[in-house]
Amino acid sequence: MHQWVRLKGSSGLTATDATNRDFLSGLSLEVGSLNVNSMNVSTMGMRSSKTFIKIEALTYRKYDVLFLSDCRMGKFEPNIARMMGLNRNCSYKLYVNSSKDSRGVAIAVKRSIYHEVLDTYRSPCENLILCKVKIKNCVLTLGSVYGPNESNVNFFRALRGKIDEWGVPFIIGGDFNTILDHHMGADNLDRVGGGGYPTGPMEGK
């Protein structure tokens, strides 16, 4: 799944996500557009013979930003970062939260797009990385998520809390493993093991 995200100026943020739009009400931004993609890369660092092939596929369409989940880079992180930076398709700078052989997330930003990382948050569970960046003369949050397989209010609370703390427009991608309505799509096996989206408890401490 890929999405063109266009952010406009004085009238605030133009976005397809109503929650995002409401949260950003009153903020102004002018960043042009970013071509982003979100992918579950399925054990990127565990099958060394296929890592190069996966990176070729990831970089083929030359997206501006890639949100990667289920990376499992572990000790292979330096090699993967090097391959993302040096391949025949497109060079990327990689920001990683994936030191183990399970789960893990990363954000890849095209090197040809000047950006400056102002702050970074990496969750201890390695299910979340957030980067507060200055990109195309704007400050915004880029985030990659690999959601827990169970209903975990604290995970979403940490995500929302950091977004609120930084207080800038945000683009979050990844695999949320989350079902908005368990009563819909009963015949879809993908919903098995998915967590529920917390509503009321999100406001608690």
User: Which CATH number is 42's domain given?
Assistant: 3.60.10.10
At 45 the pLDDT is 65
Tally of structural domains, the chain: 1
Quote the domain boundaries for residue 145: 2-203
At 136 the pLDDT is 80
Alpha-carbon dihedral 82, 143, 173, 39, rounded to 10 degrees:
20
132 beta partners? 119, 141
* Cα–chain center distance at 147: 11
Along the chain (205 residues), what's the average pLDDT of each consecutive run of 10 residues? Answer: 41 37 44 83 69 86 94 89 89 94 92 94 95 91 90 87 95 86 61 53 45
Distance from C-alpha of 33 to C-alpha of 4, rounded to nearest angstrom: 7
